[in-house]
C-alpha cells in the first residue's frame, strides 16, 4: 500500500499540501461541490495535482508534508518540487 504526499494548485496559483492513501479520491473530495468537505479547498477550488510523491508508510508521507509546509513558500514549491515549471490548466 502506498501513501502519498501531494501538492494541489488552483487557477489563482495558490497551493494546498496534504497526504493521503487514495490520491485520486482525495483530490475528488477537495473538488467536491458538497459543503463541509474541506473549507479552504471547497472555497478556493477547483484544484489539480501538480506534484505527488509515494511513500511506504503514512508516517513518512506525513513527515514529508510537514517538511514542505515548513517552507511556507510558493516560490520554494515552484523551484524545488516543480523544477521552475509553472503548471497550467492543460497539465
Q: What is the pTM of this model?
A: 0.84
Query: What is the per-residue pLDDT for 91?
Result: 41
Domain 3-81: CATH class, spelled out: alpha beta
Domains in the chain: boundaries:
3-81
Position 41 scores a pLDDT of 84
DSSP string, 35-83: TTS-HHHHHH--EEEEEEEEESSHHHHHHHHHHHHHH--HHHIIIIIST
Whether residue 12 has pLDDT greater than 50? yes
Instruction: Give the residue, 84 or 62, on which the prediction is more confident.
Output: 62
**How far apart are the two ends of the chain, measured CA to CA in Å?**
26
Query: Tell me: the pLDDT tens digits for 14-73?
Result: 999 999 999 999 999 999 877 665 678 888 889 999 999 999 999 999 999 999 999 988
Amino acid at each position: 500500500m502506498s501513501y502519498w504526499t501531494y501538492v494541489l494548485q488552483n487557477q489563482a496559483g495558490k497551493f494546498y499540501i496534504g497526504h493521503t492513501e487514495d490520491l485520486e479520491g482525495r483530490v475528488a473530495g477537495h473538488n467536491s461541490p458538497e459543503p463541509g468537505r474541506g473549507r479552504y479547498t471547497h472555497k478556493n477550488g477547483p484544484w489539480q495535482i501538480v506534484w505527488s510523491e509515494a511513500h511506504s508508510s503514512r508516517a513518512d508521507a506525513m513527515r514529508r508534508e510537514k517538511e514542505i509546509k515548513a517552507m511556507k513558500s510558493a516560490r520554494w514549491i515552484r523551484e524545488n518540487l516543480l523544477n521552475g515549471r509553472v503548471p497550467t490548466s492543460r497539465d
